[in-house]
Structure 1
Amino acid sequence: MDINDEAKSKMEIINIPPIISTYRQALRTFDDKFKSEFPTNLNKLKSMMDGLRADDLGFDKSFTEPSTWNKPNKAPCTYIEVFQNNKVNMSIFVLKPGFRMPLHDHPHMHGLLKVISGAVRIRSFTEFPLKEAADLIDFKTRAKHEAARLAQGVHKRRKLFAQISQNNICRENSATCILTPTISNYHEIEALELPAAFFDILAPPYDTFVEGVGPRRCRYYYINNEVSTNVVELHETSAPECFFCDQAPYLGPILS
């Protein structure tokens, strides 16, 4: 390789759009071939997402205008698919001002969420068991009962206890939020006074198969009881009628 070719090669590396670098890192992070490197790769992916901005994803700025959300029959949430295969789903969600994406779960999944426009309040929960009981309720006994019920194939709507693991306002300059199969796996997201958008990576995607469990289904919950300042009882419920999405095309760099 001569000097000019070498310089060109270096320039191409430098000029790789951030979303393409993030996409490539996501594929590596959640590829079973690199399972031994997972913690390192996940941290690297989070670091890349921390630096993402709306322009990196070709975000349509018309979504930031109130007039967009005042149109008749406009859905309160717009979904933009960036990429999906059987390992990773990458997408953008745009929320109407004041709209709250209902409390839902992410079964056996990792997730990363980066706000790219506006501000959202994210309240996340981590499922029981706790290390000790709170107030007068014996959480350990209740948790064992719930586990036994599910093991016997009694597939009624779930009830569980959870700790509040996050209750923060996140903005464009905030760090990426992470959920794991066991930590902060339940959350609700509320746009504040302006429209808000966030870039989301989930792995594996919803509907992919879980051995011994079946397809991953998104389930919705409500808080039935606030046991203490940071412990709640969640009950599964039907998908709220107020939550529906329309779709818009991804306008950012082609991922390859």
Structure 2
Amino acid sequence: MGIEPGKETTTATTNSNKSSRKNRRRNRKMSPVQNLFHTCKEVFANGGTGFIPPPNHVERLRSILDSLKADDVGLSPELPYFRLIRNGRSPIITYLHLYECDKFSIGIFCLPPSGVLPLHNHPGMTVFSKLLFGTMHIKSFDWADDVPCTSATSENVPRARLAKLKVKADFVAPCNTSILYPAAGGNMHCFTAVTACAVLDVLGPPYSDPDGRHCTYYREHPFDRFPVDGKSELENEKDGFAWLEEREKPRELAVVGAPYRGPKIMDS
């Protein structure tokens, strides 16, 4: 018995439509955070140090994060994490761990007003940051490898490297998801909470000391800090550059973990 012309195509199209409808029904039943998890699994399936997802995957994950709201992960500004305790010390930042594997991690930083995540890097990583609520000041840099004299030494600072300013602005939720890449987009950044705020981070891959993805902190010095030959051509743009010096983890940085109490992620 043969197949009449067009029947095979019609059958394939029908099956495809059924599959699409099934996927849409599944996604409607799935919580936003579960949908985020499944998307991360697909986007970072081939991930590793230096991996950058294809542009269509970047946009897909960005779109999901753009639509994510604080109540989707069980957060509100009234929770104790966001209260400023005036005791003369730096505000305590709370980290909520949602998920981590060798390909990616999902977590939320909860910052009370004036809380600061100091300038730090993301070696070989692609990072998506979604401000869930509040106002946050973000300052970020990339290494200025495309200009002459990108390193300097002095008696006080053994080694500093020239970096180019990428972002210096206040972000107010709701706003678009920020994305940084291994060598672009502001791989080194600092977060300062103008008001109480929460930021959800997706890191692909996550930090890993054995794999060489160690979190390094930096001290920022102004462009004019070092009299180095060859940088005169940058004088007119000096506000767009800074010298970054590696430092130990700041003593004043206090980050504590707390249980994530939002919708659960089912890893299946």
TM-score bracket, normalised by the shorter chain, equals 0.7 to 0.9
User: What residue is the counterpart of 2:228 in the other structure?
Assistant: none
Counterpart amino acid of 1:250? Y
User: What residue is the counterpart of 2:4 in the other structure?
Assistant: none
Aligned ranges for residues 155-166 of structure 1 at < 5 Å? 159-166=160-167
Q: TM-score, normalization: structure 2?
A: 0.75
1:81 equivalent among 92, 97, 104: 97
User: What residue is the counterpart of 2:118 in the other structure?
Assistant: 102
2:28 equivalent among 2, 10, 14: 14
Q: Which has the higher contact order (CA 8 A, sep 6+)?
A: 1
TM-superposed CA distance for 1:130, in Å, is: 2.7
Counterpart amino acid of 2:144? F
Question: Cα deviation per residue 1:4-31 (whole Å; 9 max; x = unaligned)?
Answer: xx99985443232211111111111111
User: What residue is the counterpart of 1:46 in the other structure?
Assistant: 62
In structure 2, relative to structure 1, the CA distance for the partners of 1:15 and 1:199 (3 Å cut) is: same
Q: Describe the SS at the equivalent of 1:23.
A: helix
In structure 2, relative to structure 1, the CA distance for the partners of 1:43 and 1:100 (3 Å cut) is: same
TM-superposed CA distance for 1:226, in Å, is: 2.7
User: Matches of 2:256 and 2:141 in 1, distance apart?
Assistant: 27
Counterpart amino acid of 1:41? H
TM-superposed CA distance for 1:60, in Å, is: 4.9
Q: TM-score, normalization: structure 1?
A: 0.78
Structure 1 unaligned spans of 5+: 1-5, 132-139, 147-155
In structure 2, relative to structure 1, the CA distance for the partners of 1:233 and 1:117 (3 Å cut) is: same
User: What residue is the counterpart of 2:84 in the other structure?
Assistant: 69
Counterpart amino acid of 1:85? C
In structure 2, relative to structure 1, the CA distance for the partners of 1:74 and 1:250 (3 Å cut) is: farther
User: What residue is the counterpart of 2:233 in the other structure?
Assistant: none
- Contact kept in structure 1, 2:27 and 2:35, CA below 8 Å: no
State whether structure 2 residue 134 is matched by structure 1 residue 118: yes
User: Matches of 2:240 and 2:78 in 1, distance apart?
Assistant: 38
Deviates more, 1:12-21 or 1:171-180: 12-21
- Contact kept in structure 1, 2:91 and 2:114, CA below 8 Å: no
User: What residue is the counterpart of 1:136 in the other structure?
Assistant: none
Counterpart amino acid of 1:225? P
In structure 2, relative to structure 1, the CA distance for the partners of 1:65 and 1:37 (3 Å cut) is: closer
User: What residue is the counterpart of 2:200 in the other structure?
Assistant: 199
In structure 2, relative to structure 1, the CA distance for the partners of 1:220 and 1:158 (3 Å cut) is: farther
User: What residue is the counterpart of 1:135 in the other structure?
Assistant: none
User: What residue is the counterpart of 1:217 in the other structure?
Assistant: 214
User: What residue is the counterpart of 1:236 in the other structure?
Assistant: 246
User: Matches of 1:222 and 1:249 in 2, distance apart?
Assistant: 31
User: Matches of 1:115 and 1:36 in 2, distance apart?
Assistant: 22
TM-superposed CA distance for 1:208, in Å, is: 5.4
Question: Cα deviation per residue 1:69-112 (whole Å; 9 max; x = unaligned)?
Answer: 32878962001001111111100001121122110011111101
Larger radius of gyration: 2
User: Matches of 1:90 and 1:52 in 2, distance apart?
Assistant: 13
Structure 2 unaligned spans of 5+: 1-19, 225-237
Coordinate RMSD, CA, aligned: 2.9
In structure 2, relative to structure 1, the CA distance for the partners of 1:7 and 1:130 (3 Å cut) is: closer
- Contact kept in structure 1, 2:33 and 2:73, CA below 8 Å: yes
- Contact kept in structure 2, 1:223 and 1:235, CA below 8 Å: yes
1:245 equivalent among 227, 230, 255: 255
User: What residue is the counterpart of 1:188 in the other structure?
Assistant: 190
